[in-house]
Structure 1
Amino acid sequence: MSNRELDAAGITDPDLRAAYAASKAINASHGRTYFLATRLLPIADRPAVHALYGFARVADDIVDGTLPKSEQTMELLALQRTMWDGDQPVLRALADTVRRYRIDRQLFTDFLSSMRMDLHVKQYETYAELAEYVYGSASVIGLQMLPVLGTVSPRKEAEPYAAALGEAFQLTNFLRDVGEDLDRGRVYLPMDELAAFGVDRDRLRWARRTGRHDPYVRRALAHMVARTLAIYRRAEPGIEMLRPWSRPCVSTAARLYRGILDEIVAADYEVLNRRAVVPTGQRLMVALPAATKAAGQNARAWALRLTSRPRSPRSASIGVPGSDSSAVKSHRRISLGE
């Protein structure tokens, strides 16, 4: 992590600086879309975002590891017991970020609860069942981010939109990775809705194995893409509730991730044997104008920080909004994006 980011955030302790640097390295390595969007945030807010991503990735890597399920469960439980102790760099950065931004700790407990579900739940019979998993694995990510992004209206009003955007990101992951997840024995699409289109696990396996176009699978996926697009539309008003200098970041992430659905449609829903990816050129076309806009907004944010009334050391050190209404909150399981 650059010294400029850490200096701007008021992070001076050498151990903490190293901890945040470790989290940033994880984000840069695994969170391609998310890392790109993070670069559009004010420089003082970026370390907190790296810390949140780093923690989520640590948990996800436990679940995707090769240890027996019983040992993975024990590792997740140990992570939950020790995540505020700061006994490893990523956890030190997380604890500091949660303290600085006053993020609700229950959100991290809910996240780890969904991670444990991945160790024993291989499919979800209804969308209501899937929604419970999605809340803990994705919606809480949006809620964790909200205090960092800041809002221009009471934070409670923005929370449903932040949760919906996390849900949309996660459902996009499921649609993009359906073939890979099937190889791992998991199906993250509601089984009753698949059945309504004449699709079951065996049919998905057949399409995956043969590579043949299946009109039944296509119709089922088209239905689920349409629903996910509707959730993006439902989440969109929340972007205007954010601080102006946070909007380019979130808007860019939403456009890039929604672009994955466009690629799925363009491929005629052939996702079982190919991974829908937004081309690099298109990613740059979305990101570069946003970067220009963000530069102006970030300059304004910095000017306001310099001219605002003094705050308590804890808030002033990282530019935390003075109140909820201040104008100044993996892989497939991590809705942060890749």
Structure 2
Amino acid sequence: MRSRAGLSLRLPTRTLTVTDYSPALPCTELRRPPLAQAVRYCRDLTRQHSKTFYLGSQLFSPPERAAVWAVYAACRAGDDIVDEAGNGDRERELREWRSRIDAAFAGQPADDPISTALAWAAGRYAIPHSAFAELHEGLNMDLRGHEYRDMDDLLLYCRRVAGVVGFMVAPISGYRGGAATLNDALQLGQAMQLTNILRDVGEDLTRGRVYLPQSLLDEYGLSRAALERWGQGEPLSPAYRALMTHLGGLAREWYAAGRAGIPQLDGRGPLAVLTAARAYEGILDDLERAGYDNFGRRAYVSGRRKLLMLPQAWWELRSLGAVHG
């Protein structure tokens, strides 16, 4: 199986089905310490760092949302190591993060809330350990200042740091359709990450990061020096807006491909994932309305607009016969 950009997609070696996840836990189990405290910690971290992801997560059943929060918190912990300022040994810290992930999957979690919650989630649902290995590779790309030569390079990064999150969440909800559904989940995650990249061009530049592929910059007659000037307030060029329009269109293609698999999720999964997808795509809408000014402002979706997306998502799924539970 290959992506639109021609990059080979490595799916988990075992196809997961609805029989791979256990029935919902009684809520009483989630109230017992230390799991209760661990889940609350992961919930609060999710709410603090991604209101969009948090909105979607609340639509899962209680045990499913607890597992989703654990997955998000574990991913976020690695991301924070890469992004934190200072001269600490971030490569060592990232290796330690990976060791804690591995220990949690082995059922021997470290004594911290994220490890506790992740060990429970990994023991309860068929979350692929290999997805975290790919995430680790993606975080290392950031840590080592990877330079993106072409779209295949950028696609690989989007897969590693966000696409694989679809592999983590799908078995929590349960799903039908095998590898095809996983591929749709992968493309949805990639669309969300590309949206983040387009939103944060100016912010990332202040960290010394440029995710826009050099081949595309060359094609549109752009340079890093031009990005620096726009970061200092110079008006954006038509060529830059054209590049953003091109990448925004690619993100739209990935959203469309990813949405095709949402009805294959079980239970409350379709509503949770579609609501989050609509909210992320709303960031792209806002960016487009602002003429792709991603240096002087940060595109966002208001809380009110996000809430309005919930009934819209429900009606869309109802029309597809995909409203469950």
The TM-score normalised by the length of structure 2 is: 0.84
Could you tell me which residue of structure 1 aligns to residue 49 of structure 2? 30
Letter of the aligned partner of 2:145 in structure 1?
V
2-structure distance, mates of 1:288, 1:241: 19
Q: CA deviation at 1:300?
A: 6.4
Query: Compared with structure 1, are the counterparts of its residues 9 and 162 closer, same or farther at alpha carbon in structure 2 (3 Å cutoff)?
Result: farther
Superposed CA RMSD:
2.3
1-structure distance, mates of 2:228, 2:324: 53
29, 33, 58: which one aligns with 1:39 = 58
Query: Compared with structure 1, are the counterparts of its residues 132 and 300 closer, same or farther at alpha carbon in structure 2 (3 Å cutoff)?
Result: closer
212, 226, 239: which one aligns with 2:262 = 239
Match of 2:232, SS?
Answer: helix
Could you tell me which residue of structure 1 aligns to residue 139 of structure 2? 115
The TM-score normalised by the length of structure 1 is: 0.81
1:21 partnered with 2:45: no
Matches within 5 A, 1:77-156: 77-83=95-101, 84=103, 85-87=108-110, 88-151=112-175, 153-156=176-179
**Is the contact between residue 267 and residue 324 of structure 2 (CA under 8 Å) also seen in structure 1?**
no
Q: Which runs of 5+ in 1 are unaligned?
A: 302-338
**Is the contact between residue 101 and residue 148 of structure 1 (CA under 8 Å) also seen in structure 2?**
yes
1:67 partnered with 2:86: yes
Match of 1:257, SS?
Answer: helix
Could you tell me which residue of structure 2 aligns to residue 49 of structure 1? 68
Q: CA deviation at 1:37?
A: 1.0
1:279 partnered with 2:302: yes
Match of 1:270, SS?
Answer: coil
Match of 1:274, SS?
Answer: coil
1:144-194 CA-to-partner distances (Å, cap 9, x unmatched) read 00101211x243231100000000000000000010001111011111112
Q: Which runs of 5+ in 2 are unaligned?
A: 1-23
**Is the contact between residue 6 and residue 47 of structure 1 (CA under 8 Å) also seen in structure 2?**
no
Greater shift, 195-204 or 116-125, is seen at 116-125
Match of 2:52, SS?
Answer: helix
Match of 2:260, SS?
Answer: helix
Matches within 5 A, 1:132-281: 132-151=156-175, 153-281=176-304
Query: Compared with structure 1, are the counterparts of its residues 218 and 292 closer, same or farther at alpha carbon in structure 2 (3 Å cutoff)?
Result: closer
Greater shift, 274-283 or 186-195, is seen at 274-283
Q: CA deviation at 1:110?
A: 1.2
Percent identity, please: 32
Higher relative contact order (CA 8 A, sep 6+): 1
1-structure distance, mates of 2:28, 2:197: 35
Match of 2:109, SS?
Answer: coil
Match of 2:136, SS?
Answer: helix
Q: CA deviation at 1:8?
A: 2.4
Aligned residues: 293
Match of 2:292, SS?
Answer: coil
